[in-house]
Amino acid sequence: MLEGRSLIEPGDFSIEEMDGLFNLAKRIEEDRVYLRESCRGRLLATLFFEPSTRTRLSFEAAMLRLGGSCLGFAEPGSSSVSKGESLADTVRTVACYADLMVMRNPKEGAALLASRYAEVPVINAGDGGHHHPTQTLTDLLTIKRLRERKGEAGLKDVVRGLTVGFCGDLKFGRTVHSLTKALTRCEDLRLIFISPGELRVPGYITALLDTQGIPYQETSSLEEAMPSLDVLYMTRVQRERFFNEEDYIRLKDTYVLTRDKMETAKRELIILHPLPRVNEIAAELDTDPRAAYFKQAKYGMFVRMALISSILGVAHA
Ligand code: NCD
């Protein structure tokens, strides 16, 4: 039962609970009338202290499609935080007006803090370079939907035997941290982390993989990893988390996925990207059937509809 619960990091929901959300998302996608008015009279607050296109708009679209309403702000300058109000006071106030809160903040731990002060459930839409659990739900639903053609199955079965590659900024990329963390609860899969030395995945993530006995490899060569990958998760270099612009400029184009580099890739490869993309995937690949990043954005809305309706208790995932 997800009713009344917050979602701060991927470990907050079990694999079974995620499977419930994926099944609900599929039902919502297939039957556009189902749950259409279920959130009438309910309010979703979106508190975005950092830029966003997909996450904020897909949450708002999800709530509106469920018949509910949205309020909030998309830049910190337009809230009283710019007058010096604390995050605790802001969320306590917003909780008086809304039934559910979605928050993105540049500080790691901000969503957890918000959930301690808010009297309504809080969904973390990204806290600094830490976590982004609803992007993980989106990523996993995409992998599941693209692979289950071979028969319906739960997440654990779908990812069994896969080699998943993460490429780009693995140090600051919160989507990478969250997806890896979720995958550590599955079995018989292998991860390959592809990054420049300075942008390697944090030690707490590799420590988790060691504890769970999930095999992984770290390399700086995308070419070397490519032939063995079933899923390639590309990421942007997170400019806003760099301490100096020179390092960003030096590292930003380390990996650019082009048609040439795809020559050794599997025919069934799934290319994911949480988006926005800057330069990591050449536009010439958008028409390749393996490019799944725009489908991924669409699945994001359906899984958020499933999440909102479950947390508000109008559906049971
Ligand atoms: C990601 C994020 O904000 O972490 N975007 C998203 O939510 N889809 C990835 C990114 O900004 O690079």
Same domain, 140 and 234: yes
Which atom of ligand 1 approaches the CA of 175 most closely? Answer: 4
**Which positions ≥6 away from 166 have C-beta within 8 Å?**
173, 176, 179, 180, 191, 192, 193, 194, 195, 201, 233, 235
Q: Residue 304: CB within 6 Å of ligand 1?
A: no
Token pair in block for residue 52? 């966003």
Pick from 156, 207, 159, 160: which is nearest to 181 by CA? 207
**What is d(CA 239, CA 220) in angstroms, rounded to the nearest whole number?**
19
Q: Does 95 map to a domain? A: yes
Task: Give the CATH number for residue 79.
Answer: 3.40.50.1370
Ligand 1 pocket test, pick from 9, 46, 55, 236 with the greatest ligand atom count within 8 Å of Cβ, gives 55
Mean pLDDT over 144-167 rounds to 89
Q: How far is residue 122's CA from residue 118's CA, in Å, rounded to a whole number? A: 7
Per-residue pLDDT, 77: 84
Tens of pLDDT, residue by residue over 102-155, are: 999 999 999 999 999 999 999 999 999 999 999 999 999 999 999 986 566 899
What is the pTM assigned to this prediction? 0.97
Check if 132 has its Cβ closer than 6 Å to any atom of ligand 1: yes
Assign residue 89 a region: left if phi > 0, alpha if psi is -120 to 50, beta otherwise? alpha
Rounded distance between C-alpha atoms, residue 135 and residue 243, angstroms: 25
Strands (E), 121-184: 122-127, 163-167
For ligand 1, the distance from its centroid to the CA atom of residue 55, given in whole angstroms, is 8
CB-neighbour burial class of residue 24 (10 A; exposed 0-12, middle 13-18, buried 19+)? buried
Using CA positions, which residue lies closest to atom 12 of ligand 1?
236
pLDDT number for residue 150: 59
Distance CA 90, CA 98 (A): 12
> 22 with 161, same domain?
no
| Ligand 1: residue whose CA is nearest its atom 7 | 55
Residue 249: domain span = 133-297
What number is the average pLDDT over the span 283-304?
98
Residues 108 and 196 in one domain: no
* Residues 6+ positions from 4 with CB-CB distance below 8 Å: 121, 311, 313
Q: How many domains does the chain have?
A: 2
- Does the pLDDT value for residue 162 go beyond 70? yes
Compute the distance from residue 175 Cα to the ligand 1 centre, in Å: 7
> First-to-last CA distance in the chain?
7
Q: Are residues 138 and 245 in the same domain?
A: yes
Residues 185 and 206 occupy one common structural domain: yes
The HSE-up count of residue 231 (CA atoms within 13 Å, CB side) is 30
Pair 116, 101 in one domain: yes
Task: Tell me, yes or no, whether 157 and 292 share the same domain.
Answer: yes
Does 5 fall in a domain?
no
Residue 102's closest CA among 68, 64, 73? 73
Query: Is residue 278 in a domain?
Result: yes
Do 59 and 151 lie in a common domain? no
189 and 305 assigned to the same domain = no
**Token digits for 189?**
């899969």
Is residue 2 included in any domain, yes or no? no
For ligand 1, the distance from its centroid to the CA atom of residue 166, given in whole angstroms, is 14
In a domain, 232, yes or no: yes
On whether residue 267 sits in a domain, the answer given is yes
Could you read off the pLDDT of 59-102 as tens digits, one per residue? 999 999 999 999 999 988 888 888 889 999 999 999 999 999 99
What the block records as the tokens of 154 is 């739960």
Residue 130 beta carbon below 6 angstroms from any ligand 1 atom: no
- The DSSP symbol for 200 reads P
Average pLDDT (306-313) is 98
Residue nearest to atom 11 of ligand 1 (CA): 276
More confident site: 148 or 20: 20
137 & 180 share domain: yes
Q: Is 274 in the pocket of ligand 1 (CB under 6 A)?
A: yes
Do 270 and 307 fall into the same domain?
no
3-state helix, strand, coil in the chain (%, to 5): 45, 15, 40
Mean pLDDT of 176-181: 98
Q: So what's the pLDDT on residue 125?
A: 98
How do residues 226-275 score in pLDDT, each as one tens digit? 999 999 999 999 999 998 999 999 999 999 999 999 999 999 999 999 99
On whether residue 317 sits in a domain, the answer given is no
Q: Are residues 177 and 289 in the same domain?
A: yes
